[in-house]
Amino acid sequence: MEDTGEEGKARSRTDRRTSVQFIDINLIRRRSSGNDKPAQSQSQRLGSINSKCETDFDDLDHLQQYTTASDSDSETDEGTGINIREIQHKNAAGFTDFAVRRIKHAQYGRREIEIAEQEMPGLMALRRRAENDKPLQGAKIVGCTHITAQTAVLIDTLTRLGAQVRWCACNIFSTQNEVAAALAEESIPIFAWKGETDDDFWWCIKKAIGAEQGWQPNMILDDGGDLTHYCHKHYSTLFSTIKGIVEESVTGVHRLYQMCRAQTLPVPALNVNDSVTKTKFDNLYLCRESIIDGIKRCTDIMFGGKQAVVCGYGEVGKGCCSALRGMGCFVYVTEIDPICALQACMEGYKVIRLEEVVKQVDIVITASGSKHTITREALDKLKNGAIVCNMGHSNTEIDVSFLRDLSTNDLQVERVRSNVDHVIWPNGKRIVLIAEGRIMNLCCSSVPSFVVSITAATQALALIELYNAPPNRYKCDVYLLPKKMDEYVASLHLPAFDAHLTELSDDQCKYLGVNKAGPFKPNYYRY
- Confirm whether residue 506 is marked as ligand binding: no
Q: Report in angstroms the alpha-carbon separations of 516 from 129, 481, 486, 522.
A: 22, 20, 16, 14
- Confirm whether residue 319 is marked as ligand binding: yes
pLDDT computed for residue 324 by the predictor: 97
Bin 198: left if φ > 0, else alpha if -120 < ψ < 50, else beta. Answer: alpha
- Confirm whether residue 318 is marked as ligand binding: yes
Where do the domains of the chain lie? Answer: 85-274+447-493, 286-437
Task: Give 97-127 as a 3 state SS string.
Answer: CCECCCHHHHHHHHHHHHHHHHCCHHHHHHH
85-274+447-493 and 286-437 agree in CATH topology? yes
The structure's pTM equals 0.79
- For 228, half-sphere exposure in the C-beta direction (CA atoms, 13 angstrom radius) is 31
What average pLDDT values come out for the chain (527 residues) when binned by 10 residues? 49 39 34 40 46 41 40 44 88 95 95 96 96 96 96 97 96 93 97 94 96 93 95 94 93 93 95 89 89 92 96 95 97 97 97 96 94 93 96 84 76 90 94 92 81 94 95 92 91 95 94 92 85
- Confirm whether residue 316 is marked as ligand binding: yes
pLDDT computed for residue 7 by the predictor: 53
- Confirm whether residue 483 is marked as ligand binding: no
SS3 assignment, position 219: strand
Taking the C-alpha atoms of residue 388 and residue 309, their distance in angstroms, rounded to an integer, is 10
Q: How many CB atoms lie within 10 A of CB 444?
A: 25
- Confirm whether residue 282 is marked as ligand binding: yes
- Confirm whether residue 317 is marked as ligand binding: yes
Taking the C-alpha atoms of residue 446 and residue 150, their distance in angstroms, rounded to an integer, is 10
Taking the C-alpha atoms of residue 359 and residue 46, their distance in angstroms, rounded to an integer, is 56
Bin 513: left if φ > 0, else alpha if -120 < ψ < 50, else beta. Answer: left
Specify the CATH superfamily of domain 85-274+447-493.
Adenosylhomocysteinase-like (3.40.50.1480)
- Confirm whether residue 293 is marked as ligand binding: no
- Confirm whether residue 409 is marked as ligand binding: no
Taking the C-alpha atoms of residue 121 and residue 192, their distance in angstroms, rounded to an integer, is 26
DSSP-assigned letter for residue 285: I
* Among 446, 449, 468, 469, residue whose Cα is nearest residue 457: 449
pLDDT computed for residue 77 by the predictor: 44
CATH number of this structure's domain 286-437, picked from the four choices 3.40.50.720, 3.40.50.2300, 3.20.20.210, 3.40.50.460: 3.40.50.720
- Confirm whether residue 73 is marked as ligand binding: no
- Confirm whether residue 112 is marked as ligand binding: no
pLDDT computed for residue 440 by the predictor: 87
Residue 359: its H or E element: none
Please work out, in degrees rounded to the nearest 5, the angle formed at the alpha carbon of residue 396 by the alpha carbons of 378 and 334: 50
